[in-house]
Chains A and B, each alone.
Chain A
Amino acid sequence: MCLAIPAEVTKILPDEMAIVSIDGVSKEISVALIEDLAVGDYVIVHVGYALTKIDPDEARRTLELLRELSAEAQGAAS
């Protein structure tokens, strides 16, 4: 039920609405719950509403950490 998908904001519309692109598929959603939104931001979309913006720096840091953690056991074994 709480499933939600990341989508890129491609156009900001009046009345707290926006167009997002999900892998090339466009969808009109509400952005009433988001402050300071800009075209190009990624948001998490759930039942037609953006719940939050995705922080690209944090995402990059998590991916780096995942690679490090993944390599740790191999490093210890060698």
Chain B
Amino acid sequence: MKYADEFRDKAIALGLAKTIEAETDPGRPYRFMEFCGGHTHAISRYGLEDLLPKNVRMIHGPGCPVCVLPAGRIDMAIRLAERPDVILCVYGDLMRVPGSQGASLLKAKARGADIRMVYSTIDAVRIAEENAGREIVFFAIGFETTTPPTAVMIRLAEKKQLENFSVFCNHVLTPPAMQNILESPDIRKIGRIEIDGFVGPAHVSTIIGTAPYEFFAEEFGKPVVIAGFEPLDMMQAILMLVRQVNENRHEVENQYSRAVTCGGNLRAKEEVSDIFELRAQFEWRGLGQVPYSGLKLKRTYAKYDAEVRFGMSELRVDDNPACECGAILRGVKKPVDCKLFGTVCTPETPMGSCMVSSEGACAAHWTYGRFRDHQQRRAS
């Protein structure tokens, strides 16, 4: 067993689709939000929406840390990378993310800034060791999945007594964002959000476990099913949600039991709590300011905090006012309802968060979904 192909079996997927169809009540809607971009991508890539009954609708949530990073943070990173003494190390996904006025790290690099793509935080530490005379800054981004590797790296930098190393921290947390989707003040402007259940994150949950969603399921009365990223995982999770809705239950269930436990990865959680603490609030592109949703380095690690070390000032950039990301992320509108979609806003020139990475709702619809719309139009 290699734990991948086995969970992509077409015959089983088609059987699951029949079971879902048999168990859904045609007289009511089933609206489920998948929080994770990984799930959004799997749904689009494997065409899972075509396998679901018409009244089962998937709403694509904000779960892609690259998409939700505000443009101002990109501008701050570009400004830092333009310093001649700095080498900025970044994950590849960040290179094309738009800052203000069409700026990006890729363009800054083309203009001569020393920006290096790394696969892992370990590579950033190596670069710091090899460049003793330069300041190495790691652009840290990601959900609970990607935070422990940053924590391990800071511990390693301390152990190796690296004096030329720091982190520009943009780590964010999943549960506060899920909560914000349901109860933010913006909702009054956007309209009522109708979500009957959540597909919970796969790899985020390997770290935090299933327990943090218990409050959420109880407080909001919504079922949560944690699911793996393979197509069969997704289909089973949808069936589990349909059953909870039919039986009027709102519990946390774990479809991804081969990798997720109730308590999560204790060692990883300890690494994170040793190094990081909560920010009072952090801006999410498409959601705005979300309380207690971001992390920063503890004061005892301030010398590794690039924002402190270089006195970086906060830069704010307003999103395009015509952009409908806020409503799309909450499932009130679809990508095609946005005036910008496919006109000025495409994956080559993204205007809003949902188009930025391949995991965003608009980018997934642009890459896979719009062809289905076209076929449907031709058929009708």
Contacts and interface: CB of A to CB of B under 8 A. Distances in A.
A62 B148 CA distance: 28
A44 interface: yes
Interface residues of B, number: 60
A48 B120 contact: yes
A10 interface: no
B4 A6 contact: yes
B22 interface: yes
A8 B357 CA distance: 29
B22 A73 contact: yes
A70 B120 contact: no
Interface string B212-252: 00000000000000000100110010010000000000000
Contacts of A65: 236
B297 to A, nearest CB: 18
A13 interface: no
B258 A55 contact: yes
A65 B232 CA distance: 11
B203 A58 contact: no
Nearest to B260: A52
Contact of A2 (B6, B15, B37, B260): B37
A65 B254 CA distance: 13
A66 B122 contact: no
B2 interface: yes
Interface of A: 1-6, 8, 23, 29-30, 32-35, 42, 44, 46-49, 51-52, 54-56, 58-63, 65-67, 69-74, 76-77
Interface of B: 1-4, 6-7, 11-16, 18-19, 21-22, 36-38, 63-66, 91, 93, 119-123, 141-143, 145-146, 148-149, 152, 201-204, 206-207, 229, 232-233, 236, 239, 255, 257-260, 265, 267-268, 271, 357, 359
